[in-house]
């Protein structure tokens, strides 16, 4: 099991960022995947390589501005937990934290890298420090 | 017309693997001939001892702290300086055929262009990539999205499983053994020789060269994935070298107690790796314990490496013949090197990692200038770095040395070294993998190589290694704490801290294991 974390400050209020990323079916609009499909608490994401992951959406907490999801174990992935937090830092700034716990451990690195790219896209969308 | 440049790299090849450098097993007549009529560098050093940082240094002409690819898995930004871009802008046709590895290989998201070009089977993108017009990528087998893997899967699907599986089911570097001795990363590969990646790289290089007009100047980086592990050359060729006939390498210490005493004289993370208790990087199988390596396994791995090196030499010969058939030989510069070395049994070890020892640091480097340049053959003893290659290519092309490069071109002889500023060479290591940290800074100057540890999991600033290569070429005696060498050590460290480029901030994130 390994754990990686990416985070960044976004020059935008936490509610606006949270409303965008908490829509479970729009992951492809900010995360480097090509498509997202949601049915109830299940989500399927497809990567550019053609790989599709089935995920369980475990938590969407609008009060905490936190959601958690898990890739359903498959031939490669034994366990996975992703936690995304949007934490206010005043009225017009927030910090987004994306954490991944993963087995096999090495896959945490490309997933962390993808999360880093996703966060960069959020910064582009919602604003960076002037 | 100007001079054409054939830049040949291998991956993880030792200095002493070539006959022209004292090798006695692999037959390397083509490379030996390049050395005989060219400039052979006796102390060529990488700026980092693993692929991505070292290759990023080659293409940018910058030290690791400047280009920022501080460990495998950190991508070189697409807009990083590139000598290929400089040559392309000067009118050169440019190609990279074989192993690139400026960007992570293991990425199911296909975030990086090398993987995407392979996946989409694009060889000539609408815009150049790092200055290359033509790109065909290969790595160490048939897995992954790169062009060679796609070619095997399309043309010879029955051989997809012929190669050793580099990664195991948990995506760790595979520790399973094969061959006669159950050595790690060894497999008998039934693939016909002509479909193996060495010959594929040569054939596709020839095809690209034959596509060019006769009067076009060109820069071709022909990059062989071998002799990097896995050691799975075509089985038909394995009988070239019988491992049972091989002597053990000079650097192998047969007596276990003596070997461990010498290892214990070095920075502690080496003993940790040897015992299997400290795996700090992704460059060797994490489940393989180096202390378990047997003498016969060393022999078998070495035999397979020798076979792979012979195949590379023969592939180069075919490419040089194709160049000659086009009438380009008189204007052709050939530069041959590798990105880093390999233990191959030294100290009872295989593979590579955060160890700035000559096994990994002393590289083959040969510059065979165009006959039309009328340069004299030479053997250069001055330490030089791969960081000088970019400026060397610019020099060959008659282009002003790019401002982004951090080192002068290679000297044509020892007499030129001082005037070009080749007094010292730096090598860096940084790795942070799941909480295990190793940081090293090394200076090679004169006959000394001095490595300072920075704060890490097993080492602290103030610890290090110092070797006198003139009197101790096998590096058995660490002089770091020897009072007789304190002044030498301190002088080298002053030089290191004064002249090594300062790291840029922020440090880029690791996006993949490799």
Number of domains chain B is built from:
1
pLDDT digits (tens, 9 = 90+) for A13-34: 999 999 999 999 999 999 999 9
Q: How many CA atoms lie within 13 A of B134 on its CB side?
A: 19
Q: Show residues of chain B in contact with A47, CB under 8 Å.
A: 108-110
Closest A-chain CA to B509: A113
DSSP for residue B260: H
In a domain, B331, yes or no: yes
Rounded CA-CA distance B179/B165 in Å is: 14
We report the CATH number of the domain holding residue A100 as 3.30.530.20
Rounded to an integer, what distance in angstroms lies between the CA atom of residue B324 and that of residue B209? 11
Q: What is the pLDDT of residues B168-189, one digit of tens each?
A: 888 889 999 999 999 999 999 9
| pLDDT (mean) for A41-46 | 97
Average pLDDT, chain B: 97
pLDDT at B309 over 90: yes
Residues B218, B215: Cα–Cα separation, whole Å: 10
Percent of chain A with pLDDT over 90: 92
Q: Which residues, in sequence order, are CB contacts of A89 under 8 Å at separation 6+?
A: A9, A14, A95
* Sequence-distant (≥ 6) Cβ neighbours of residue B244 within 8 angstroms: B299
Element (H, E) at B318: helix B295-325
Q: Give per-residue pLDDT as tens, B120-158.
A: 999 999 999 999 999 999 999 999 999 999 999 999 999
Q: What is the pLDDT of residue B171?
A: 86
Give the gap in angstroms from C-alpha B119 to the nearest C-alpha of chain A.
Answer: 8
- pLDDT confidence band for B443 (50 / 70 / 90): very high
Burial class (CB in 10 A: 0-12, 13-18, 19+), B124: middle
Which pLDDT score, from 0 to 100, does residue B505 have?
Answer: 81
C-alpha–C-alpha distance, residues A30 and A17, integer Å: 11
Element (H, E) at B512: none
Comparing C-alpha atoms, which of B310, B298, B174, B168 is closest to residue B239?
B310
Give the tens place of pLDDT for each residue, B385-414. 999 999 999 999 999 999 999 999 999 999
Q: Which of A48, A78, A106 shows the shortest C-beta gap to B109?
A: A48
Q: How far is A98 from chain B (nearest CA, A)?
A: 14
**Domain residue limits at B414:** 4-91+150-422
Please check whether residue B435 lies inside any domain of the structure.
no
Check A113 against B104: CB less than 8 A apart: yes
Q: Is residue B100 included in any domain, yes or no?
A: no
Mean pLDDT in residue range B415-420: 96
Axis crossing angle, helix B268-275 with helix B256-264, rounded to the nearest 10: 140
Ordered strands of the B378-380 beta sheet? B134-137, B93-98, B218-227, B4-11, B332-338, B365-368, B39-41, B378-380
Tens digits of per-residue pLDDT, A70-122? Answer: 999 998 899 999 999 999 999 999 999 999 999 998 899 999 999 999 999 99
Sign, CA torsion B195/B196/B198/B204:
positive
CA–CA dist B478, B227 (Å, integer) = 29
> Cβ contacts (< 8 Å) between B73 and chain A: which residues?
109
Tell me how far apart the alpha carbons of residues B505 and B295 are, in angstroms, rounded to a whole number: 45
Whether residues A49 and B119 touch (CB distance < 8 A) is answered with yes
Instruction: Note whether residue B182 is domain-resident.
Output: yes
Provide the CB-side half-sphere exposure for B192 (13 A, CA): 7
Is the confidence at residue A130, as pLDDT, over 70? no
Q: Is the ipTM of this complex over 0.90?
A: yes
What single-letter DSSP state applies at residue B388?
Answer: G
Does A105 sit within 8 Å of B511, measured CB to CB? Answer: no
pLDDT at site B466: 98
Cβ-defined contact of B109 to A47 (cutoff 8 Å): yes
Distance, CA of B40 to CA of B367 (rounded, Å): 7
Q: Which residue of chain B is at minimal alpha-carbon distance from A35?
A: B109
What span, in angstroms and rounded, lies between the C-alpha atoms of B265 and B255?
16
The confidence score (pLDDT) of residue A128 equals 67
pLDDT of residue B449: 98
> Which of A5, A45, A78, A113 to mutate: most B Cβ within 10 Å?
A113
Task: Indicate whether B506 pLDDT > 90.
Answer: no
Q: HEC states along B122-168?
A: CCCCCCCECCECEEEECCCCCCCCCHHHHHHHHHCHHHHHHCCCCEC
Residue B331: predicted pLDDT: 98
Counting every residue, how long is chain A? Answer: 130
Cα-based distances in Å from B121 to B127, B134, B136:
15, 12, 9
**Taking CB atoms and an 8 Å cutoff, what residues of chain A touch B510?**
109, 112-113
B53 pLDDT higher than 70: yes
- Could you give the number of structural domains in chain A? 1
User: Reduced to 3 states, what is the DSSP secondary structure of residue B367?
Assistant: strand
Q: What is the mean pLDDT of residues B229-255?
A: 98
Q: Looking at residue B18, which CATH number applies to its domain?
A: 3.40.720.10
Strand ranges inside B168-258, DSSP E: 177-178, 183-184, 218-227
Grade residue A129 by pLDDT with cuts at 50, 70 and 90: low
pLDDT digits (tens, 9 = 90+) for B190-211: 999 999 999 999 999 999 999 9
Cα angle A35, B102, B342; round to 5: 125
Encode pLDDT of B4-52 as tens digits. Answer: 999 999 999 999 999 999 999 999 999 999 999 999 999 999 999 999 9
* Three-state secondary structure readout of B170-185: CCCECCCEECCCCEEC
Q: Is the pLDDT of residue B237 over 90?
A: yes
8 Å CB contact between B386 and B422: no
> Is the preceding peptide bond at B200 cis, omega within 30 degrees of 0?
no
Q: Are B101 and B52 in contact (CB under 8 A)?
A: yes
Q: Are B216 and B89 in contact (CB under 8 A)?
A: no
8 A C-beta contact, residue B112 and residue A35? no
Residue A50 neighbours by CB distance under 10 Å: 11
| pLDDT confidence band for B73 (50 / 70 / 90) | very high
- Cβ atoms of residues B431 and B48 within 8 Å: no
The answer to the question of residue B157 being in a domain is yes
Instruction: Indicate whether B433 belongs to any domain.
Output: no
**Is residue B375 situated within a structural domain?**
yes
Express as a percent the part of chain B with pLDDT over 70.
Answer: 100
Q: Which domain holds residue A102?
A: 2-126
pLDDT band at B1 (very low <50, low <70, confident <90, very high): confident
Mean pLDDT of B505-512: 90
Inter-residue contact A73 to A55 (CB < 8 Å):
no
For A50-67, how does the pLDDT look when each residue is reduced to its tens digit (9 = 90+)?
999 999 999 999 999 999
Residue A63 C-alpha, separation from nearest chain B C-alpha, in angstroms: 31
Please check whether residue B48 lies inside any domain of the structure. yes
């Amino acid at each position: 099991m390994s754990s990686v974390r990416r985070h960044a400050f976004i020059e935008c209020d936490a509610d606006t960022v949270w409303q965008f990323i908490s829509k479970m079916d729009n992951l492809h609009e900010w995360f480097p995947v090509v498509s997202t499909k949601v049915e109830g608490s299940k989500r399927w994401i497809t990567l550019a390589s053609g790989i599709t992951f089935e995920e369980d959406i475990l938590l969407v907490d609008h009060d905490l501005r936190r959601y958690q999801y898990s890739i359903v174990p498959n031939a490669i992935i034994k366990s996975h937990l992703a936690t995304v937090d949007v934490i206010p830092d005043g009225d017009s700034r927030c910090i987004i934290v994306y954490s991944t716990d993963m087995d096999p451990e090495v896959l945490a690195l490309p997933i962390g890298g993808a999360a880093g790219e996703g966060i960069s896209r959020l910064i582009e969308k919602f604003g960076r420090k002037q | 017309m100007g001079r054409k440049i054939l830049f040949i790299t291998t991956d993880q090849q030792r200095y002493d693997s070539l006959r022209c450098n004292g090798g006695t097993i692999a037959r390397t007549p083509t490379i030996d001939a390049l050395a005989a009529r060219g400039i052979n560098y006796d102390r060529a050093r990488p700026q980092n001892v693993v692929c991505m940082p070292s290759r990023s240094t080659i293409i940018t002409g910058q030290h690791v702290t400047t280009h920022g690819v501080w460990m495998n898995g950190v991508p070189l930004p697409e807009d990083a300086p590139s000598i290929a871009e400089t040559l392309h802008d000067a009118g050169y046709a440019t190609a990279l055929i074989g192993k690139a590895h400026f960007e992570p290989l293991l990425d199911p998201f296909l975030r990086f262009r090398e993987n995407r070009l392979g996946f989409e089977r694009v060889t000539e993108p609408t815009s150049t990539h790092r200055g290359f017009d033509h790109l065909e990528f290969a790595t160490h087998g048939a897995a992954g999205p790169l062009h060679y893997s796609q070619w095997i899967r399309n043309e010879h699907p029955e051989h997809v499983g012929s190669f050793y599986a580099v990664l195991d089911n948990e995506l760790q570097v595979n520790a399973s053994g094969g061959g006669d001795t159950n050595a790690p990363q060894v497999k008998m590969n039934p693939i016909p020789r002509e479909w193996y990646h060495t010959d594929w790289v040569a054939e596709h290089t020839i095809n690209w060269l034959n596509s060019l007009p006769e009067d076009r100047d060109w820069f071709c980086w022909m990059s062989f994935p071998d002799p990097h592990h896995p050691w799975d050359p075509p089985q038909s060729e394995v009988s070239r070298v019988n491992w049972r006939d091989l002597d053990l390498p000079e650097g192998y210490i047969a007596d276990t107690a003596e070997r461990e005493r010498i290892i214990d004289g070095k920075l502690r993370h080496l003993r940790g790796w040897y015992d299997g208790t400290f795996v700090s990087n992704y460059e060797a199988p994490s489940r393989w314990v180096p202390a378990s390596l047997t003498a016969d396994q060393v022999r078998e791995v070495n035999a397979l490496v020798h076979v792979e090196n012979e195949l590379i030499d023969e592939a180069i010969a075919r490419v040089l013949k194709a160049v000659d058939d086009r009438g380009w030989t008189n204007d052709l510069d050939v530069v041959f090197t590798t990105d880093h070395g390999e233990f191959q049994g030294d100290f009872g070890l295989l593979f590579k990692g955060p160890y700035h020892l000559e096994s990994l640091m002393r590289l083959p480097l040969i510059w065979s200038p165009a006959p039309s340049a009328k340069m004299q053959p030479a053997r250069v003893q001055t330490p030089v770095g791969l960081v000088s290659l970019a400026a060397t290519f610019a020099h060959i092309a008659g282009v002003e040395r790019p401002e982004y490069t951090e080192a002068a071109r290679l000297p044509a002889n020892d007499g030129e070294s001082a005037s070009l500023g080749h007094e010292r060479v730096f090598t860096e290591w940084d790795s942070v993998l799941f909480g295990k940290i190793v940081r090293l800074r090394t200076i090679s100057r004169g006959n000394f190589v001095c490595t300072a540890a920075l704060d890490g999991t097993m080492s602290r600033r103030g610890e290090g290694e110092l070797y006198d290569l003139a009197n101790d070429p096998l590096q058995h005696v660490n002089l770091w704490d020897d009072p007789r060498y304190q002044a030498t050590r301190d002088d080298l460290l002053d030089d290191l801290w004064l002249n090594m480029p300062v790291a840029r901030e922020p440090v880029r994130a690791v996006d993949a294991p490799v």
